[in-house]
Every structure is written in C-alpha cells, then in structure tokens.
Amino acid sequence: QQPVQSPQAVILREGEDAVINCSSSKALYSVHWYRQKHGEAPVFLMILLKGGEQKGHEKISASFNEKKQQSSLYLTASQLSYSGTYFCGTEGAQKLVFGQGTRLTINP
C-alpha cells in the first residue's frame, strides 16, 4: 500500500526550513528517502531501518517513528540545489513502494 506524503508541494525562499512527512497504514520495516530532479533518476538520500532512528547529512535529516508508522524529512537552511521532488519509499511485504512525492521549489 502506497505511503501518503504531505504536503504535496511547498515553495520556500532560500535559507528557509521545510518538513516533509510520510505515513503508512501498514507496518513499516524501513523508510527510504529519494530526491528526483525533473527528467532524471531518483537519487538516494537516506534509509532508516529502525524505529526511533534518526539520520542526517549536512542540512538534511530524517526520523522514523515505527509506532506511528511515519517518517519525516527535515531540510534546514534550504539551498537552491534542494529543489526537486522528494519521495519516501516504504518496505513491506517484500516490496518497496513510493509515495506520490512532494514537490519542493526553492526561490532565491
């Protein structure tokens, strides 16, 4: 079952913060986050394997709440290069299913 992402789209000014949420009605074994630029392949950001796990790389981090069956991606002090569509993918029943995506636009 496809996870649900919110918001569907967000527009920021450079330097602002954003949070993208991902939730599932099914138990989650892991959460994957990807960013995709238009017409390009999705690029791996991070994977969270355990409930309570938090990861981060530079100004992008994520958390995984296994009990609530949800994950959040945090983008801090956004840069123009952060623009794109963000997908969360959830693993269950041996397949990786992605949400509909959150389109992030960063303006100067």
- By CB under 8 A, name the binding residues for another protein: 2, 29-30, 32, 34, 39-44, 47, 49, 87, 89, 91, 93-101
From the CB of 11, what's the least distance to another protein, in Å? 16
CA distances from 40 to 8, 20, 60 (A): 19, 21, 20
Of the two residues 24 and 99, which places its CB atom closer to another protein in the complex? Answer: 99
Give the C-alpha separation, 90 to 42, whole Å.
Answer: 15
From the CB of 36, what's the least distance to another protein, in Å? 8
Look up residue 57 and give its amino acid: H
From the CB of 73, what's the least distance to another protein, in Å? 16
Give the C-alpha separation, 46 to 43, whole Å.
Answer: 10
